[in-house]
Structure 1
Amino acid sequence: MSGERTDNEVLTLAPPGSGAELLEVRDLRVRFSRGGRRVHAVNGLSYRLNAGEILAIIGESGSGKSVSARTLMGLLPPSAQVTGSARFAGTELLGLPEREMRGRRGAEIAMVFQDPARSLNPTMRIGAQITEAIRAHSALSRKQAAERAVELLKLVHLPAAERRFYEYPHQLSGGMRQRVVIAIALAGEPRLLIADEATTALDVTTQAQIMELLLELKQRLGMAIILISHDLGLAASYAQNVVVMYAGRAVEYTSAEELFAHVRMPYTQALLGAIPLLEREPHALLPVIPGQPPDPAALPPGCPFRPRCAAATDACAEPPPFVEHEPGHWWACWHPAEDLSPQVKDGVQG
């Protein structure tokens, strides 16, 4: 039965045959102070992730998706005001002392960022950086850690792993550097890997290779993965479940299969409609979402997407509740969108 979700309730989306619950995020809110104003970066985000699953968190820049991920890692500045709950394997992460968080960071939850060049120390050889990460999470000797580092480089399919071990980051291509960063993330054998726009800075072919690598690693190591991206096509190809965020809020949440079959939130529909399709005329203009995302320090009243939404009415002056309108499918909208055309669906899913 459908019903409104209160801020303290948690969305439950566990497909048949899924693993045990690994992460539960409940009513997560993150505030910053900027120039005397309060920035509302995350506004009541809730979701669950089961072991071995892939969850995609999708949205434009400034939607709060990366901030929510950094919150799980304990990587926010001290000035951040965080409320809510984030329980990982039964342990509350929010408010965890830095010493305890440091022990979990990398060992249980690891993160891969967008720019591998900024994630690597340009003055250290590749092997030394991976070896250092391994020894931070194990009692292996330097020699044993070095051997393990080569194994990890092979695991992420870095060509000539033994030789690359002694090279510096600038000697590798962008795709190779991202493989090294993934190897470092795997050094502590985490149960959850967060990929924060991990393929955005790469060319299309390399993006696909990195995503296939992450999928292979998930299957081999049994990790859960959170994909942070603005690319709904990526979610369609790799994720089981999808959270669509806008202005710090979740505006639609369901399985990937259901989302692309029956998209409801107009913002989600706009994101899907803006994906380039081969079927479009060569000189046809790419559809765009009008306007700009709202300033998180000055959010509009009511539905935050209202100023950009073609379906907006006076009713949208009131914030729509996040409701399970259909079994396993939540959205926040007074005027849910119709299904996308078959051409758009085929273009995304293909």
Structure 2
Amino acid sequence: MEQRCLYDYNLAELTELLKAWGEPPFRARQLYRHLYVNLTASVERMTDLPTTLRRRLAELPLSTLRLERVQIGDAGLTRKALFRLPDGAVVETVLMVYPDRSTVCVSTQAGCGMGCVFCATGRLGLLRNLSSGEIVAQAIWASQELRAMNAAGPSGRVTNLVFMGMGEPFANYDRWWQAVERLHDPQGFNLGARSMTVSTVGLVKGIERLANERLPINLAISLHAPDDTLRSELMPVNRRYPIAELMAATRQYIAKTRRRVSFEYVLLQGKNDHPHQAIALARLLRREAPPGPILVHVNLIPWNPVPGTPLGRSEWERVNAFQQILTDYGIPCTVRVERGVEIAAACGQLAGQTTLMVEMT
């Protein structure tokens, strides 16, 4: 049985837990505030709680994540944390500080079972799903780190959160959504729904499910090819959910939510970055869009090197040409700003260094 940590409990569950211990409901609210508002790092520091209660709470860990190291890049503005789980698996979390915001990239699984050929995490395979508390604890770490840095964000807190770290969120949907609700809770962490973005390789059932959720978090879909043949080569999930089925789900999602969907497209030299592929992508997105404004956006991502992978990074001339074609076809498009490449913290690089650590330990 998995060991539960305090971050695995929502307020109602903490209330029930403490009630069983003979504590009044306001004690649970005090504890909840310490966890999510004060960001208190240990039960011992929750000095407004009775000593007897703190002793009992100390029998439960705040988090089952054990911080092993933090790597720093981009002159201190990008930080990658390596956490070890009780079973020995590892996960990574990336904090990125900008002049006007602070973004944390959170993992939802240890490893990943999707097998995308350009991604370091996929080479690990799926090790296990993270609990809701293990997902939440990564955001807490980032806020604590920001507070120590005296960095951007109100009171040094995270302003944006992306579920784009290790793993496929929709393959761990229930626990991932529990984490979303806890991070959004106005009584606790209080992060706005529109400040959160989830990225999926295109699990159609997850997209359909998200369309019916009450919180309007942002959706990003990893596409990376405009046709089934190439996409299946790059992303095995396409054999299960081909582009036509994926785009139908996306069309229904946009029609129901009226929210814009972002498509992520990693550019690989000579593989998916030709002009005719940019045209095919533009036509695909225009054809599948519902009537009215085009509620899609393309994030072009120059591929970040993964050791041992026989792929190449698109030259900037090809990146710019690809972007210009999409723009000419009326598709909103940006090239993602690179952060954390020097510490293997950029898009698709997570687990590139943890693999070595696992082998050495």
Q: TM-score, normalised by structure 2?
A: 0.30
Does 1 or 2 have the higher relative contact order (CA < 8 Å, sep 6+)? 1
Structure with the larger strand share: 1
